[in-house]
Chains A and B, each alone.
Chain A
Amino acid sequence: MRHIISILMENEAGALSRVAGLFSARGYNIESLTVAPIEDPTLSRMTLVTYGTDEIIEQITKQLNKLVDVVKLMDMTEGPHIGREMMLVKVRAEGERREELKRVTDIFRGRIIDVTARSYTIELTGAGDKLDAFLQALEQAVIIEVVRSGVSGIARGERALKV
């Protein structure tokens, strides 16, 4: 099963490599990994998406907790949560297609953030399957480039990952 795990780590040099190295050394899967500082500059927050059996996920969380720099972590998937991803898509937009692309972007509540005579760059935020659906709605031929941010996750309600 797919899990979103959020980690608060000491914001030290090499923090990312400790996590990435753990996954490669132990042969765990990583689908996406995002990392950035947060409001507390001594911490950095990582969100990683992984998949595996319950036993493997249990080992992953234990091994992550064992890293000396990991302050706290939460498996978002254990409760109600929101996972969001941002995507930037550059598409060929010429002639009649320009109007159609604008319409599809509106339907998905995306925004066109850069325009040239022959292209649009579209920004879209949402759950992974929404982004997938958007890409499917576009004709393959029009896509020039796709960039996805990887997932950021947060728990619903009062539950929070905080030091």
Chain B
Amino acid sequence: MKRKGTQAFVETLKQEGVDILFGYPGGYAVDLFDALYGQKDIEVILPRHEQGLIHEADGYARSTGKVGVCLVTSGPGATNLVTGIATANYDSIPLVCFTGQVSKNLIGNDAFQEADNIGITRPCVKHNFLVKDVSKLAETIKKAFYVATTGRPGPVVVDIPKDVTAQKADYHYPDTVSMRSYNPVHIGHAGQIKRAVKLMLGARRPMIYTGGGVILSNAAEPLTDLARLLNFPVTNTLMGLGGYPATDRQFVGMLGMHGTYEANMGMHHCDVLIAIGARFDDRVTGNIEKFCPHAKIIHVDIDPSSISKNVKVDVPIVGSVDNVLRAMVEAIKGGNKRPDAESIGAWWEQIEEWRAKDCLKFDRESELVKPQYVLETLYRVTGGDAYVTSDVGQHQMWAAQFYKFDKPRRWINSGGLGTMGFGMPAAMGVQLGHPGETVVCVTGEGSIQMCIQELSTCKQYALPLKIVNLNNRYLGMVRQWQEFFYQGRYAMSYMESLPDFVKLAESYGHVGMQIDRPGDVEAALVEAMKLKDRLVFMDFITDQTENVYPMIPAGGGQNEMILI
């Protein structure tokens, strides 16, 4: 049966199991919205800005493991997505973004609201498609979902000219896709896994270093099995938090620039490093010349181009983290060799010595609200069971340090691109994916204002977020660098003319609170959590001079941390 392109579009989404779509209409997408009108299977969320829109889809995808689906119009609709596409691409988040396009005969003619969406997004997508023929629409959408979700996931853009969806074609949605040019490897090489296991069993000072790949691959369980089986210490990257239970004795905290002393010292002194779904980012390694000088390195990653990109590794294993970890656990359980208990015991003694430095300590007597105290209290008040999103800056680091994530997909932040404005929209996506759960957005007065208009969307869809605004009247991370490295020349890092956030929240129909005394922090958080159906905006007036410690300064090795 022949079907109009617009109907085919909606039908493919249904067959793909899409139940929520983030969309903003416009001239060249209005037909697609028309086709979505009145149907019940797909809920359409209308944000206030396309940047908010895509971060919402992104937060939804990160927290649920499903694909985030966006639909916007041509020109500015599509260009406003770009920051969000790059954000998702950096952190390997599966999104499918449909962009409206001018009719085929107008492409290249500088038509109203025309932009080269394929060209503009090409460097920051996993792949993109221009649909030129309505008969290819369904197949292309199938491919888009397939590419977005398999291998190393990522965002895929599908650009649809207006005339294409106006035409009719036979409709057939394929069950499976096969692309001769795209065949990701899932199963790790057995010989390499054997070599890796041998190396692990012979380790005397091992370290397991895991990243976002563990979360994306749903591999928290086999990771935990492996670590416990071997009694090896585990550190997570910013993107990997929740991949291993943070309250477990074997967890030594986050590593990297603002990681813990014990994690970074452990990295520096280890003799076998087991890197899993992590990419040796510069914020993790510090000075690459000084990185893990004593270690043999095993690296498991689904993306071959991540392996030996920054750091040459000894045992590369390409494959899905989940598969490879399970194979490792099986291989160890199947043999009778175990790591030398005496050496591992001595290694743990050394780690405990580092841990005793208590590198995250802060002034608890201060009369000013300390941001660390707010987060520590948030953790306690929510029982460690909230979904927490963050924006980018000091508050992000403190959230990562002080909220102990025991489960994957609970910590949502823009780790790679570092996109300010991400936090609140992402929290909205999380809440839409998890109605009834506590969703907290930890932010700062700088970041929150980059997508603040979404407070209106929260009202429309009754999203009861809890916003923790750590308001220090500075772009805090910039201020910290200026204090440390620019002789206190605070160039453009001070935020003047801030709004009254309480009134602002109220004007959008939400609850606003301002807290400026340490003694009021806990009560405010408790009260906010009690308001289950309301968005509560908590404006914490914090100590302006607080810095994130510990810190590896630029050019430093992981053993060269500045402690408070």
Q: A68 touches which one: B181, B308, B309 (CB < 8 A)? A: B181
* Residues 159-194 of B contacting A (Cβ, < 8 Å): 179-182
Q: A69 touches which one: B130, B181, B309 (CB < 8 A)? A: B181
Known: A17-B119, A17-B122, A21-B123. A58 touches B308 (CB 8 A): yes
Chain A residue at smallest Cβ distance from B179:
A68
Known: A14-B122, A25-B123. A71 touches B304 (CB 8 A): no
Q: Report yes or no: A65 in contact with B126, Cβ–Cβ below 8 A.
A: no
Chain A residue at smallest Cβ distance from B303:
A66
In the complex, A109 has a CB within 8 A of chain B: no
In the complex, A59 has a CB within 8 A of chain B: yes
Contacts of A36 in B (CB 8 A): none
Contacts of A63 in B (CB 8 A): 305
Kindly supply a per-residue 1/0 record for chain A positions 1-33, scoring 1 wherever the CB is within 8 Å of any chain B CB and 0 otherwise.
Answer: 000000001100110011001000100000000
In the complex, B147 has a CB within 8 A of chain A: yes
- Report the separation of the CA atoms of residues A7 and B276 in the bound assembly, to the nearest whole angstrom: 31
- Report the separation of the CA atoms of residues A101 and B305 in the bound assembly, to the nearest whole angstrom: 50
Kindly supply a per-residue 1/0 record for chain B positions 276-311, scoring 1 wherever the CB is within 8 Å of any chain A CB and 0 otherwise.
Answer: 000000000000000000000000000111001100
- Report the separation of the CA atoms of residues A10 and B140 in the bound assembly, to the nearest whole angstrom: 14
Interface of A is mostly: helix
In the complex, A163 has a CB within 8 A of chain B: yes
**In the complex, how many angstroms separate the beta carbon of B282 from the nearest chain A beta carbon?**
15
Q: Report yes or no: B123 in contact with A68, Cβ–Cβ below 8 A.
A: no
Chain B residue at smallest Cβ distance from A70:
B181
Q: Report yes or no: B122 in contact with A68, Cβ–Cβ below 8 A.
A: no
In the complex, B118 has a CB within 8 A of chain A: yes
**In the complex, how many angstroms separate the beta carbon of B179 from the nearest chain A beta carbon?**
8
Contacts of A18 in B (CB 8 A): 122
In the complex, A97 has a CB within 8 A of chain B: no
Q: Report yes or no: B122 in contact with A9, Cβ–Cβ below 8 A.
A: no
For the complex with contacts A59-B305, A62-B304, A62-B305, 10 further pairs of A-B residues with Cβ separation under 8 Å are: A9-B181, A10-B181, A13-B130, A14-B118, A18-B122, A55-B312, A66-B305, A68-B147, A68-B181, A163-B180
Give chain A's interface residues, CB within 8 Å of chain B. Answer: 9-10, 13-14, 17-18, 21, 25, 55, 58-59, 62-63, 65-66, 68-71, 163
> What 10 A-B pairs come out closest when comparing CB atoms?
A62-B305, A68-B127, A71-B181, A68-B182, A62-B304, A25-B123, A66-B305, A63-B305, A10-B181, A69-B181
Give chain B's interface residues, CB within 8 Å of chain A. Answer: 118-119, 122-123, 126-127, 130, 147, 179-182, 303-305, 308-309, 312
